[in-house]
Amino acid sequence: MATEPQNSPFIKNLASSDKKTRDQALSSLRTYLSNRASIPTLDLLKLWKGLFYCLWMQDKPLHQQRLARDLASLVDILHADVVLPFLDCFWKTMAREWVNIEALRMDKYLFLIRQELNASWRYLSRNRWGDKEKVEKYMRILEETPLNAVDVKIPNGLRYHVLDIYVDELEKVGGDGWDLETLEVLLEPVRKLQEESKTKAVRKAAKEVLEDARLKKWRGEEVEKKDEDAEMAEDGADEEWGGIED
């Protein structure tokens, strides 16, 4: 097996106009990734550029969605030491290529981002989010690229989409049973964006995420509000006019 990804045919074949060739290249890539305990950052960036254009060349929505899921599933076959660098290079690739995505192709990349975010949450949620170091490292990855508060090179469109799906994908992975300490760590990149972004619309979008009703429910805040509403309803019932007394 080639030691350098750029020396392997599957890299350029990922962007082939022929679907069969792309599928074969993706299969070769799976074998390559599953057998590497470490991969240099430059090689990961080259791999993600190939994968970006692999999706670029794929037409028909159902095939696009299947491919996006397949790309997200690569996280599951990676050596533990490769996962976070792999995800880091994914976000860097999306930030770099975002301005080149045509309107007619945007939907499939939005779907890919959703799948990759979900895959990252699933990976980190193993053992009930027990590897705190990895969770914190991934939060720094999000802070440095898709949710970077100050870097003008990061497209706001990418920021908005990640914010839009952030809680959705957390809900799919974590359900309602959240450890509050873990939840607050996962929200830190959004909180920092809300506090430090120089763009009012970005700060507003981040604030809306932090005020999501599901987060309140997971923290128990919604339950308390319901209790208050129930007490008010009971008080109101006690004071309700009972008609003219004899």
Note the pLDDT tens digit of each residue in 10-38.
789 999 999 999 999 999 999 999 999 99
What is the DSSP secondary-structure string of 58-125?
Answer: --SHHHHHHHHHHHHGGGGGS-HHHHHHHHHHHHHHHHHHGGG--GGGHHHHHHHHHHHHHHHHHHHT
2 has a pLDDT exceeding 50: no
Please give the helix or strand (H or E) that residue 140 lies within, else none. Answer: helix 132-144
Residue 229 clears pLDDT 80, i.e. is over it: no
> Residue 90: which of 60, 116, 129, 64 has the closest Cα?
116
Pair of tokens at residue 49: 């550029």
Q: Tokens standing for 108?
A: 């499939």
- For residue 218, which amino acid is it? W
Q: Per the confidence metrics, is the pTM higher than 0.85? A: yes
When pLDDT is averaged across residues 96-107 and rounded to a whole number, the result is 97
Taking residues 68-96, what's their average pLDDT?
Answer: 98
